[in-house]
Structure 1
Amino acid sequence: MSWRVWRVGVAAALSLLLSACASVRGRPADGPVDEAEAYLRAWAANDVAAMKRAVAGPPASFEEQHQRFRDGLRIVSSRFELGRVERDGEQARATFRAVHVLRGLGEWELESTLPFVRREGRWFVRWTPAVLHPEAREGDRYSRTRTWLERAELLDAYGEPLTHVGEVITIGVDPTRVRSRADVTSALQVQLEVDPARVEKALNATGATAANFVPIIDVRPERYQLVRPALAPVPGIFFRKKTARLSPSEGFASHTLGRVGEVTAELLAQLGPLYQPGDIVGLSGLERAFEPQLAGTPSGEVVLTRPSGEAQVVFRFEGKQGTPLTTTLRPALQMAAEAALEGVTQPAALVAVDSESGAVLAIASRPLSQPLHRALTGRYPPGSTFKVVTTEALLARGMGVDAPAPCPPTVAVKGKSFRNFEDEALGAITLRGAFAHSCNTAFVLLSANLGGEALGEAARRFGFDVEYHPGLPSSGGTFPAPRNAVELAASSIGQGRVLATPLHLASVAAAAESGRWRAPYLVTDLDDGPSASLADGTRGALHLLMRAVVTEGTGRAAAGVPELAGKTGTAEFGTVPPLPTHAWFIGFRNGIAFAVLVEGGGVGGRVAAPIAARFASAL
């Protein structure tokens, strides 16, 4: 075979192969594939001008029809996939799949066609309204409906609703009627403890100056009646009634359950295109964290309306009912926790957990006017409550509760002086006495022989440096490895770089009672978190020692509660002497463990222990 014949044969074969490939794809080699792809790219970019240039004899209303389509359906974005392209002489037809994302409803998927005509060697789209939708005709308009199904409930540990629908009063400001911002912010702060910065932020928000009503805070009718006489005379402050989800009482687990209200611009960006302005969503707490589960998805219809007024539903969004969220909270214990904190004027927290399972039974943060959920996210030096961990490490090394533990007034470690509270000196005592009376110097001396590695292992047995997810953000406890003897001494008494949340210290108390640390959790579906066993033989000794704190030691302010065992803590913080202190008490009674914190409260035995007694007496 000659070279020329062989070359022609190969070319013919390649031509047949390319034609075959094009046929398999459904796209003829000389068809308007490139033009179709370019048109769909322009459509996806909402480049109507480029689309119009690709149309043969576009109607005068071309841009208007596209705008009506986009605006009427509130289309956020569109994407396209080109299908088969079939040619018939000087005409062609391309099928495509369109996915339009409708704000607040989701994805609407449909199939349509792009007809083409060839003129002067170039392919143009022969556009009709059917390109937008196969059923569309000239003059049609698009609209939509949208409905949320009823929001699902937050349930307590027994499966009963924690909230109900009731009336609230929204207290807000009309910027056009304000004479003095200082008067407005002062009145709201005095009467409702609203941070003035929060009011200023709301009034300075985009669009607020033109609004007739800027909502600031929702209150129950009974509270409204109390504050109205002071607020109503202030020019610019107004009131509106509405219905809302309410907890059993004002402030009941408010930081944990969270609140529901109109979606903010910030949340709208986070929640995505399924939501739109005006939607009622979870703004904080569990309501926010589990928004998709509780809200479900909205239902809706895409409606095509003829000029005659005849309406046709061309697509339906089937909404999905939200699913209730079952928490581990027990209402009676939650109310007991809040009652125990009543009258406490400083920032405070109280957390109670089931000692066997880690389930959070009650959790309260104060003040209610601050959004910080300090029970979950506040990180503090644990002070002497950490001696539970240090003692477990000592017990694991074989030390007995009656072993000697000298308690001098001060101890120097590498030039750093450690002292007891109020310079107390107990002399030659035992581990039991040192623990019950919270002798710092005794634990500093004992930890020197214990070592940082053993103390770190004990800390991990109590969940320090263990990541867990209770249902809302919480940072747990951290025990950085001591870098030297001074840090080891400080860490052994819960100072230095050791930090913990009130929630985590409640889990420490639970581990002391049950003998096993379990990650605390607020939502029943999250009950499979990490856990760790305490060292063999330490549980009974910890029970004895923590009971001694209440009966004969620093926790005697709680001695009237039978079977209560615990540990006080007075944790220094800050840098300017004399250092202020947080007041702590952690303890357990009858299978329920808890932690009490009073931020900057002073002495744990004098401030936190009485709060613990009020709570524990209800167990």
Structure 2
Amino acid sequence: MRSGVFLDSPPARITVPRVSRREWRVGVSAAAALFLAACASVRTRPEQGPLDVAQVYLGSWAEGDLAALRRVVVEPPANLEEQHQRFRDDLRIISSRFELGRVEREAESARVTFRAIHVLRGLGEWEVDGTLHFVRREERWWVRWSPAVLHPEAREGDRFSRTRTRPQRADILDGHGQPLTREGEVITIGVEPRRIQSRAAVASALQAQLGVDPARLEKVLSTPGLSPEHFVPIIDVRPERYQQVRPALAPVPGIFFRRKSGVRLSPAEGFAAHTLGRVGEVTAELLEQLGPTYQRGDVVGLSGLELAYEVQLAGLPSGEVRLTRPSGELRVLGRFEGLPATALYTTLLPEVQSAAEAALEGVVQPAALVAVDSSTGAILAVASRPLDQPLNRALTGRYPPGSTFKVVTAEALLAGGMGVNAPVTCPPAATAGGKQFRNFEGEAFGETRLRTVFAHSCNTAFVLLSDALGADALGAAARRFGFDVEYRVGLPSPGASFPLPRDKAELAAAAIGQGRVLATPLHMASVAAAAESGRWRAPFLVADVIDAPSASLAAGTRGPLQALMRAVVTEGSGRAGASVTGLAGKTGTAEFGSGTPLPTHAWFIGFRNGIGFAVLVEGGGVGGRVAAPIAAKFAAAL
């Protein structure tokens, strides 16, 4: 140690936990808050040393209180605040935090080292090791300021700047490893408010031709600060769709069109739209969620897989922090290496997806169709309608499964020793736990066989059988089919739940897929797949999902269960699919809501040639009449 110089011991060090570029979050951490509180307290202490003044200076810098900096600087330059502000603006710094280091002090001068962690919008964290120099005058310690406070290499007249380059967005791939997305051209259909003569006419035309909700148009036109002279985009359509609607839209005053290239497109309009998702300019809400490596104007995933795997598909930007001398000399002060974008491998098969899309063509009610590979659980197709609603009904909608759950109940009965031709009774009505249950449209088959009551979906037979079966046996069968099992799909999907029945009435309702039983269409597709393969496998959409849960059906139940499901198509409620060779399934008409009679969802779950699938038409009515024809159309195309 040099004579006349001493090191404060121990050195003061106020640290804030390091945050990676991926884990960064906006806001001052708890440690930083303590740091700022300490700064506030030292301002009131009568005799401040260099470390105390350093805390005040860096604390004010972190808070953005530039006016406070001048109060601790000796002979501050006239543009002190301006230089700090320009440093922040030129580099787009959104926050700064500091770690104090070592203090070296002589009689009338001192140095305090520090580390600055600046968060640069669109790039992330940039760390700079700096030094504050001090001079003692009139029994006070003052910061001796120069541009080197901002960065050790900075001199008077230097300017800071930055560069930024984003990687090319990676592809979403199908189950064959081929891209499901490509760059193409769309037509943006929008309005110019000052040219609109009738809002009602514009709203009517956009709704009739493109399904745009009039309320959405009204909300857009009522946006505060909207310029009446500017083009306001409403919806993007492909060129072929544009050619179809242009004759009806072009004559309406106020509607205009603009071409937009370089847009990420799926193979066809509406193709797996909810699942693949869409990209567009980052919203304010997403900008906050995605963190500092993003900035306004970035094109990001806004929904579906594009959003869920945004960082993987987009990579991380690279860039440089630069300093330019008045002479023109350029120095690179820091580099952001970035990360390349990586393709996302999915299990979707275009041929199966196209069959699903075609099967739902013309369905005007909310609907879903989802298909899985019976031997692996891989999701092959996901279709949800309507396209202009964000809800992916196939994956996230939870509904009472109705009589499709009789697949589970039948497996429990078969596991308990019943045979396909075991004698059962199907009366017009049956009572369990004081609650009366009836068959659809008053059907009754009297003394018959299990095969018949399953094929024709006799509720009363299953209500009577549930009493002898018991809640434990039915619950065990439900778990064999994945109910109450958590699994990862690759997108949000809540699976299925089978709450343990609390009494005989709930047990009877559960046995026919009512009461508190709920499932997604995806999960019911996995139920159908399990009936074909003999083993339930958790469905998955992203190829790198590992350790997915699975469970075997009860020994000896696979063959009889398949025979029951085939009978549904050949002789029962699913005869709409009788012409499709090898198709087996189960219809469902699931009550929900309130009213007399209760509204019903239309279901069909089935399998054919190694593919299990489910069809749901929300509020569609009778499964055999509404869902079964859709299922037959899909299965025939496989």
TM-score by length of 1: 0.93
The CA deviation at 1:137 is: 1.6
> Equivalents in 1 of 2:55, 2:577: separation in Å?
78
Q: What corresponds to 1:215 in structure 2?
A: 233
Does 1:441 find its partner at 2:464? no
Does 1:579 find its partner at 2:565? no
> Equivalents in 1 of 2:74, 2:407: separation in Å?
83
Q: What corresponds to 1:429 in structure 2?
A: 448
CA contact (8 A) 2:313 2:342 kept: yes
Q: What corresponds to 1:45 in structure 2?
A: 63
Does 1:104 find its partner at 2:90? no
The CA deviation at 1:206 is: 5.0
CA contact (8 A) 1:502 1:596 kept: yes
Q: Which amino acid aligns with 1:25?
A: P
Q: How does 1:342-361 map to 2 (within 5 A)?
A: 342-361=361-380
Q: What corresponds to 1:550 in structure 2?
A: 569
CA contact (8 A) 1:31 1:92 kept: no
Q: What corresponds to 1:238 in structure 2?
A: 256
> Deviation digits for residues 503-533 of structure 1, max 9, x if unmatched?
0100010111111111111101114222222
TM-score by length of 2: 0.91
Change (3 A) 1:457 1:26: closer
Stretch moving more, 104-113 or 305-314: 305-314
Q: What corresponds to 1:229 in structure 2?
A: 247
> Equivalents in 2 of 1:376, 1:83: separation in Å?
53
> Equivalents in 1 of 2:6, 2:438: separation in Å?
90
> Equivalents in 1 of 2:174, 2:255: separation in Å?
37
Secondary structure (helix, strand or coil) at the match of 1:483 reads coil
Secondary structure (helix, strand or coil) at the match of 2:633 reads helix
> Equivalents in 1 of 2:374, 2:164: separation in Å?
47
The CA deviation at 1:371 is: 1.5
> Deviation digits for residues 57-108 of structure 1, max 9, x if unmatched?
1111011111111111110100111111112331111111111000111011
> Equivalents in 2 of 1:386, 1:591: separation in Å?
20
The CA deviation at 1:209 is: 4.2
Q: Which amino acid aligns with 2:413?
A: L
Q: What corresponds to 1:379 in structure 2?
A: 398
Extract unaligned runs of 5+ from structure 2: 14-46
Does 1:22 find its partner at 2:26? no
Q: What corresponds to 2:189 in structure 1?
A: 171
CA contact (8 A) 1:383 1:571 kept: yes
> Equivalents in 2 of 1:459, 1:607: separation in Å?
26
Q: What corresponds to 1:12 in structure 2?
A: none
Q: Which amino acid aligns with 2:158?
A: D
Q: Which amino acid aligns with 1:413?
A: A
The CA deviation at 1:175 is: 3.7
The CA deviation at 1:138 is: 1.6
The CA deviation at 1:176 is: 4.4
Q: What corresponds to 2:615 in structure 1?
A: 596
> Deviation digits for residues 579-616 of structure 1, max 9, x if unmatched?
22211111111111000111122211122111111111
The CA deviation at 1:125 is: 0.4
The CA deviation at 1:168 is: 0.8
Among 84, 88, 102, the residue aligned to 1:66: 84
Q: Which amino acid aligns with 1:22?
A: D
Does 1:274 find its partner at 2:293? yes
Q: How does 1:398-437 map to 2 (within 5 A)?
A: 398-437=417-456
Paired positions, count: 600
> Equivalents in 1 of 2:222, 2:126: separation in Å?
37
> Deviation digits for residues 181-223 of structure 1, max 9, x if unmatched?
3333322211111122333333344544478233221110111
Secondary structure (helix, strand or coil) at the match of 2:209 reads helix
Among 320, 341, 354, the residue aligned to 1:301: 320
Secondary structure (helix, strand or coil) at the match of 1:25 reads coil
Q: What corresponds to 2:520 in structure 1?
A: 501
> Deviation digits for residues 482-507 of structure 1, max 9, x if unmatched?
12211111111111121111101000
Secondary structure (helix, strand or coil) at the match of 1:406 reads strand
Q: What corresponds to 1:326 in structure 2?
A: 345
Change (3 A) 1:486 1:532: same
Q: Which amino acid aligns with 2:97?
A: R
CA contact (8 A) 1:42 1:48 kept: yes
Q: What corresponds to 1:143 in structure 2?
A: 161
> Equivalents in 2 of 1:137, 1:210: separation in Å?
48
Q: What corresponds to 1:116 in structure 2?
A: 134
Change (3 A) 1:221 1:417: same
Secondary structure (helix, strand or coil) at the match of 2:426 reads coil
Does 1:618 find its partner at 2:637? yes
Q: What corresponds to 2:215 in structure 1?
A: 197
> Equivalents in 1 of 2:358, 2:190: separation in Å?
30
Extract unaligned runs of 5+ from structure 1: 1-18
Stretch moving more, 111-120 or 407-416: 407-416
> Deviation digits for residues 205-257 of structure 1, max 9, x if unmatched?
45444782332211101111222232233333322222211111111111100
What's the C-alpha RMSD, in Å, of the aligned pairs?
Answer: 1.9
Q: What corresponds to 1:453 in structure 2?
A: 472
Secondary structure (helix, strand or coil) at the match of 2:446 reads coil
> Deviation digits for residues 404-461 of structure 1, max 9, x if unmatched?
1100111122442211111111111111111111111100000011122221121111
Q: Which amino acid aligns with 2:62?
A: A
Change (3 A) 1:21 1:64: closer
CA contact (8 A) 2:192 2:228 kept: no
Change (3 A) 1:265 1:24: closer
Q: What corresponds to 2:284 in structure 1?
A: 265
> Equivalents in 2 of 1:103, 1:202: separation in Å?
28
The CA deviation at 1:303 is: 2.1
> Equivalents in 2 of 1:236, 1:128: separation in Å?
58
CA contact (8 A) 2:48 2:141 kept: no
Q: Which amino acid aligns with 2:11?
A: R
Secondary structure (helix, strand or coil) at the match of 2:448 reads coil
Does 1:181 find its partner at 2:167? no
> Equivalents in 1 of 2:617, 2:468: separation in Å?
33
CA contact (8 A) 1:31 1:87 kept: no
> Equivalents in 2 of 1:52, 1:379: separation in Å?
61
Change (3 A) 1:432 1:297: same
> Equivalents in 1 of 2:229, 2:81: separation in Å?
33
The CA deviation at 1:258 is: 0.5
> Deviation digits for residues 137-178 of structure 1, max 9, x if unmatched?
222222222121100100001111001100111222334444
Q: Which amino acid aligns with 1:511?
A: A
> Equivalents in 1 of 2:278, 2:253: separation in Å?
28
Q: What corresponds to 2:50 in structure 1?
A: 32
Change (3 A) 1:402 1:366: same
Q: Which amino acid aligns with 2:372?
A: V
Q: Which amino acid aligns with 1:266?
A: E
Secondary structure (helix, strand or coil) at the match of 2:8 reads helix
Q: What corresponds to 1:292 in structure 2?
A: 311
CA contact (8 A) 1:359 1:527 kept: no
Q: Which amino acid aligns with 1:500?
A: A
The CA deviation at 1:43 is: 1.0
CA contact (8 A) 2:8 2:104 kept: no
CA contact (8 A) 2:7 2:104 kept: no
